Amino acid sequence: MLDIQATMKRIEELKRERNAIILAHNYQLPEIYDIADYIGDSLELSRKAANTDADVIVFCGVHFMAETAAILAPNKTILLPSLEAGCSLADSITAEQLKEWKQEHPDAVVVMYVNTTAEVKALTDYCCTSSNAVQVVESIPKDKEILFGPDMFLGAYVQRRTGRDMHIWPGECHVHAGFREEHLQKLQKKHPNAEFILHPECGCVSQCMFMLDQGKLDSAKILSTSGMIKEVKESSADTFIIGTEVGIIERMKREAPGKTYVPLKENAVCEYMKKITLQNTLEALEQMQHVITVSDDVRIKAKQAIDRMVAIG
Ligand code: 13P
Ligand code: SF4
């Protein structure tokens, strides 16, 4: 077992030897930020994977993100340092379930959040992420029936923002579903001048929009993880209530130091994201593991839905 500095040095050497880059999601551990070539949200990381000249992409994120990279960059080697890095939201709809849902609505357009398996994407017309879900739905002709999934809170948010009447799958992320109205109210009293920033997967997102409409909340923004980083850098506020996985606060402190960040819920931790460590990232590069591949028949169908997502917003 190497010490931290030696592990980082060895990772940098192996990156050069293998012509590899490391893409890291905003929820990764701080030491992973330090070795990453690029840190971002799902949409930004998909775009990076599609456009890089590297031969190897080490994906420090969760399985569906590495699979998306494998779909967009089939000639590159995509490595996921831990196969335990799953996603409860992606697990909330299977390809079989989507097939049955589509049979009930044969003329509907299917919009699925990118947090899904490649097999689900292959049955999807448009993928979307938290940063472009509204634009994706707005791009679909108004007379079309829409099946939206798998996140019901994101679905309710998009429905309200677009005014579209959609069928919404009742899936959720176990981390974000735990955010409730009482968390909003408690912190609103404690920090009356703070700006609220919430991820659209949050269980309290509809209440937040209702409170804004009613004038019961002065300022709140609903944003993707990278949208949140941009907001804390650009906003004139000095205190922010952060409604998402708490790991992102370290990134905020780095990108916009000197401001105060209060988690909406302190124990909101995605244990799947934290399966990625310096040690298993080193092992991934040393042993070229775990290679994530998608069969050609699934990949070609899934790519169409992802390409539409990458092109919008
Ligand atoms: P972002 O695309 O906003 O980074 O969200 C991904 C995710 O899994 C949030 O839980
Ligand atoms: Fe999946 Fe939720 Fe973790 Fe995001 S926070 S990767 S949606 S389990």
What residue ranges of the chain have pLDDT lower than 70? Answer: 1-2
Task: Verify that 181 and 238 share a domain, yes or no.
Answer: yes
| Boundary of a domain, candidates 150, 168, 186 | 168
- The ligand 1 atom nearest the CA atom of 199: 3
The string of pLDDT tens digits covering residues 54-69 is 999 999 999 999 999 9
Regarding whether 159 and 100 lie in a shared domain, the answer is yes
Q: Does a structural domain hold residue 302?
A: no
Residues 33 and 104 in one domain: no
Ligand showing the shortest atom-to-Cα distance for residue 88:
2
E-strand ranges in the chain read: 20-25, 38-40, 56-60, 77-79, 109-113, 126-128, 146-149, 167-168, 195-198, 220-222, 239-243, 260-263
Residue 2's pLDDT is 67
**Does residue 190 sit in the same domain as residue 259?**
yes
CB of 175 within 6 A of ligand 2: the answer is: yes
Question: 154 and 101, same structural domain?
Answer: yes
Is 242 inside a domain boundary?
yes
179 in Cβ contact with 268 (< 8 Å):
yes
Closest-CA residue to 80 (of 282, 287, 284, 274): 284
Backbone angles phi and psi of 235, in degrees to 5: -70, 150
CB distance 151 to ligand 1 below 6 Å? no
Q: What is the pLDDT of residues 219-243, one digit of tens each?
A: 899 999 999 999 999 999 999 999 9
Q: How many angstroms separate the CA atoms of 118 and 55, rounded?
A: 22
Decide: 157 and 200 in contact? Cβ < 8 Å: yes
Residue 101 lies in a domain: yes
Structural domain count of the chain? 3
CATH assignment at residue 82: 3.40.50.10800
DSSP state, residue 195: E
- Assess whether 257 and 201 both reside in one domain: yes
46 within 8 A of 278, measured Cβ to Cβ: no
Residue nearest to atom 6 of ligand 1 (CA): 42
Residue 276, ligand 2, Cβ within 6 A? no
Nearest alpha carbon to residue 6 among 39, 31, 37:
31
pTM of the model as a whole = 0.96
Query: Which atom of ligand 1 approaches the CA of 224 most closely?
Result: 3
pLDDT score for 216: 87
Mark which of 168, 202, 231 sits at the end of a domain: 168
* 148 and 107 in a common domain: yes
* pLDDT score recorded for residue 274: 98
Q: Other C-beta atoms within 10 Å of 287: how many?
A: 9
Looking at the CA of residue 25, tell me the nearest atom of ligand 2: 6
**Secondary-structure percent of the chain, ordered helix, strand, coil, rounded to 5:** 45, 15, 40
Q: How many Å lie between the centroid of ligand 2 and the Cα of residue 88?
A: 6
Q: Are residues 204 and 281 in the same domain?
A: no
Range of the domain at 184: 176-263
Quickly list DSSP for 200-253. Answer: TT-TTHHHHHHHHHTTSSS-EEE--HHHHHHHHHH-S-SEEEEES-TTHHHHHH
- Residue 15 covered by a domain: yes
Residue nearest to atom 4 of ligand 1 (CA): 41
What is the whole-number distance in angstroms between the Cα of residue 215 and the centre of ligand 2?
Answer: 31
Question: Which residues lie closer than 8 Å to 96 by C-beta, 6 or more apart?
Answer: none
Q: What is the pLDDT of residue 218?
A: 82
Whether residues 163 and 236 fall in one domain: no
| Integer Cα distance of 84 and 61 in angstroms | 11
**pLDDT digit string (tens) for 154-182?**
999 999 999 999 999 999 999 999 999 99
Angle between helices 181-190 and 205-213 (to 10 degrees): 50
